[in-house]
Structures are given as C-alpha cells and as structure tokens.
Structure 1
C-alpha cells in the first residue's frame, strides 16, 4: 500500500476533531430549512467553544507533524496555529436569542464590525498593523444573498507573523466582546461561515541542525456550519477524512489550502502525483470561496504574492 505523503501527515495532524453533542427532536424541527434541507433523525453539532478547545494545547506547544526527509530520516516538525480570518453568519432568530440572553452587543455587531473607507484601503495591504474586526468593503453587503444570514462577527488578521498571538489567546480576547464565539452552535451557523488558520513552523525534533526545507507555512480553510457535516471530500487521500461513528466527534478537514515557501520535494513526493492535483484543487477552492464572498483575505494575498493598494 502507498505510504502516506508528508502532505497527508500535515493535514491529518492539523485537522480538528471537535467533541459533538446531539439535538433533541423538537430542536431538529426548528432548524433553518435553507441551511439544513435534509431530513435527519439524528443531528450532531458542536459549540464554537468546544472547537477552540481543540486548539488549546496546539496553541501552547504546536502540532507535531511527522515528516520523512529525502534521506529517509524522520523528524517531527511543530506548527503553531494562528487565527487568520473568520466570518460567522447566523439567522435572525439566533440574533434575537443571543440578545435576549443578555448579549446586548451581538445584535449590531455585524454592521459595527465594518471599517470606514480608509480602513478598508489599509486592510488590503500587508502593512504590519494589527487588525480590528472588519476588513471587507461595506458595499459588499448589498451583494450577499439573504441565504447567507446575518453577519454576527468577522476578523481578519493583518499583523506580521512575529507580531501575532497564538489562536487560543486571540479567541479568548475576542470572546470578551463577542461571547457568541464560545456559545454559538454549528447547526445555527450559515453555510457561509468559515475560518482560516495560519500554521507557522517553530522547531523540529530531533534538533541540532537547520533544515531549510521545513520552512513551509500553511493556510487552511475550514467550514464552521453543520450544513456540510455529512459531505465527503472528493480529494481525500490515504484516509485524511475518515468515516467516523456517531459520537466520535465532528471532523473539520480543510476545504481549501494555500502554502508559502513550499518545497515540492518534501511535501508532494510520492502518492503517484496525486498531491500536486490535490494542492491545486484546494488552492482553487480557497480562491473561489473568497471571490464568492467578495472578501480580501490578507494572508491569502500574501501567500500568493499579491500586492494591493
């Protein structure tokens, strides 16, 4: 059997598997039919708080990815996750529930999070400044279909990699103003809800020498909605997306991927050329997703060498 490639190992090591819960039957009947058109007896979901828990240890120590070098030596390269971008769309019913539960900021957070024109211009550049909630032009709202729902929250990171804090620290800070980042359920999120995680290498074991081929950075895109929960990935290789039993947790493999400083001889060797096709497909999907939502994603532009403004 074909051994797993280093790309397979990276995707497997960085795919979150979130603790799941089950909706009661009366709750299933109340789901938005536009977002959940299939009738199901059992619906699994996760809370955003449980999703972030998957990144708690990774934010502190990094995700260990076993990598086989050209000489046959195996090292474990560690990658630290950083929140690169996130957009959360919810239904108006969920907005009311959040407001009635005492979260007075959530109702208007979607509109309040947008920047003025000057900030939008600045947001399109890799300028080394920290991001605030905001980052795509206000007139884009008129192009978004009602099916997307209400924009509860968005964040786009603009600081340089060395100026960022690990994902868990960033989320904890943002959740102080937007508590829905911890409490919202995946079944109440629009199919347009997504996040991007930037993975930067920190060290490898065994240590003792510099391996330039391990400087690759990754940008993974993940859906946050249960609408895609039962869908399979066509580009799956070597069981990265494994069929699971109910109650084992919800796996969130990336639907899109971008890379920076990638060395093909390390990451896409073997697998009968499928890794090249897979990388091209994942990159194309990420690009299409951003264009469909009319979003300027700063890390994506940087990875692609795109300079704006």
Structure 2
C-alpha cells in the first residue's frame, strides 16, 4: 500500500469500526416505556429512539460462531483478513425498578486452560493478575437513583481459551435474567454497559511470524439509549468526547450504532496498529482513560481490564 493511502488508513480504527454493532432503531412514546418518568429520560421529548437488547445479540450471532473478519494492512503493503472471536467479558444492567428476582453477581471461574503452549504462558500471568484486581477510588455518580437498580451483573473470570461462545453465554444468562434479551434500551439507566473481549483466531491468507497479529482487545459499549445525553457532568470529558465523536462517525438511517466508548489492548504494537497522522495515539489514550474512569465510578472489579492494563504494551 502506498504512503499516500497509508495516511488515510489506521488498523486500530478499522478494528473499532468493524466491532461496532448496529441495531435497528425503534421510536417509542414515553408513555409506552415501563417507567416514563425515570430521571434519565430526556426532558422535553415525547418520543425516544431505542433498541431491544435482543437485537444487540443478533449482531454478535455470526461473529460468535465464525469469528469477525477485520482487514489489516501489513508493513509490506499486503492485506490480510484477521478473524477475532468475541466473548462477553462483563455486563451490568441497571433498571428503574427493583427486579422481580434477587440480584446475583455472576462470576465464571476456571482452574484449567487449553494444553496449547501460548495459553499456558498466559495462564500463569492471568492467575497472578487475579490476586490484585480491585479498585479503591470512590464512585462519582451523583446519586443512587441516577444509577438505578442493579438487575444483572456478570464478570468473566475464566481464561480466554476456556470461555464458551458469546451467544451461548447470553442464552445461559437469559434463563435466569430474561430481560437480557427483552429489555428496551430506553428502560435502562445510562449506567448500563457491556464489554466484549476480542481474541485473534486465524488470518487469511496465512502469514508466518507476524507477531503484531496476536493482539487482543477489550471494547466497552453502552446499552442505554439515554447514555450520551444523560451522562453525569462529572463523568469526565474523555468518556463523553469518545462516545460523541464515534457516534457522529457512525450515523445510519433507522439504525443505532454502539461504538466503543472505552478500550484496552493486549500485545498491541503501536507502530503497526496506530497511524500518527490520524491521531490514533491520543484516541487510544482517551478510550483507555474513559474505560478506567467508568469502572472506578461504578466500583467494578473487571478482571479482563485489570489483566489487559497490567500486561499492555502501550
């Protein structure tokens, strides 16, 4: 690929674009929402654009089964399609009213890994990271009623090669938490979110010894319609600017995009993934900072994020 083309291309931006789900948009009147008077609904608006959570998982169905292909440009000018498998890394769903069943924090743990040598090496690091994954900083959401009632929290702790497919995990959780597929985004607090881990599985055409293609990623996405408009004032400019910028870049008629508002990386070599002429370094710092701030505000012990943070090459 020529230098002129390179100025307009970024591997990390291509990855972020490819991993942004688009869901069908529905326009609901406030009276049709279970709690039309919730504090996080936009003031002065009679209708709300939203989506059903089940539509999100439809986006991940094929990616979960076959992997998501992302075109990646190599330094020698060649292009490969790198496939990534997504896993549900963490999710929190907050609603306006207490759920009918009790809230339970779901944790998945595993003592064993694949016999694969790379997995074995990572396993030792993963276990070490598990020993210190807490956050001390106090949350800065202004009031408990702005967060809502915790309906579901799930944090994955199983090592990557021992995880079940994303859709299998969603179906498993939905057996006890049917709202995971039936809730509308307008019914959720702006504190509702999910994170997806992306691990490389293969690339076409196959190339040998391209260590840069071993990078893994952790993306953070809002699952609330009111997230952008109702962020607390003291949330931080990094979080707001990252979401607003990427939403503006992904406008689509009758569809809502859920771009990453936060990002963490593992084994990512900057010169391969980032293009300095496109402001990638500043963007990644902003996305990482937004994810870090978000988790501290909600006091979430996010195992994957801690591991990625302590093993990042950035």
Fold match by TM threshold 0.5: yes
Partner of 2:200, secondary structure, is strand
- Give the whole-Å Cα distance in 2 for the aligned partners of 1:59 and 1:30: 33
1:301 is displaced (CA, Å) by 0.6
Q: 2:292 aligns with which of 284, 287, 298?
A: 287
Number of residue-to-residue matches in the alignment: 274
TM-score, normalised to structure 1, is 0.79
1:173 paired residue number: 172
Q: CA, structure 1 residues 28+54, in 2 after alignment: closer, same or farther (shift >3 Å)?
A: same
2:251 paired residue number: 244
Q: Which runs of 5+ in 1 are unaligned?
A: 96-105, 116-124, 129-134
- Give the whole-Å Cα distance in 2 for the aligned partners of 1:151 and 1:197: 20
1:270 is displaced (CA, Å) by 4.1
Q: 2:105 aligns with which of 106, 110, 113?
A: 113
- Give the whole-Å Cα distance in 1 for the aligned partners of 2:246 and 2:164: 32
Q: 2:263 aligns with which of 246, 251, 257?
A: 257
Q: Is residue 202 of structure 1 aligned with residue 201 of structure 2?
A: yes
Q: Is residue 40 of structure 1 aligned with residue 45 of structure 2?
A: yes
Contact 1:4 1:271 in 2 (8 A): no
- Give the whole-Å Cα distance in 1 for the aligned partners of 2:42 and 2:191: 15
1:264 is displaced (CA, Å) by 0.8
- Give the whole-Å Cα distance in 2 for the aligned partners of 1:230 and 1:149: 16
1:150 paired residue number: 149
RMSD between aligned residues: 3.2
- Give the whole-Å Cα distance in 2 for the aligned partners of 1:191 and 1:36: 9
Q: CA, structure 1 residues 240+150, in 2 after alignment: closer, same or farther (shift >3 Å)?
A: closer
Contact 2:250 2:257 in 1 (8 A): no
Spell out the pairing of 1:190-229 with structure 2 (5 A cutoff).
Answer: 190-228=189-227
- 1:151-185 deviation digits (Å, cap 9, x = unpaired): 00010000100000121111011111111111011
Q: 1:53 aligns with which of 53, 58, 68?
A: 58
Partner of 1:43, secondary structure, is strand
Contact 2:243 2:259 in 1 (8 A): no
Spell out the pairing of 1:58-77 with structure 2 (5 A cutoff).
Answer: 58-77=63-82
Partner of 1:107, secondary structure, is coil
Q: Which runs of 5+ in 2 are unaligned?
A: 108-124, 129-133, 231-238
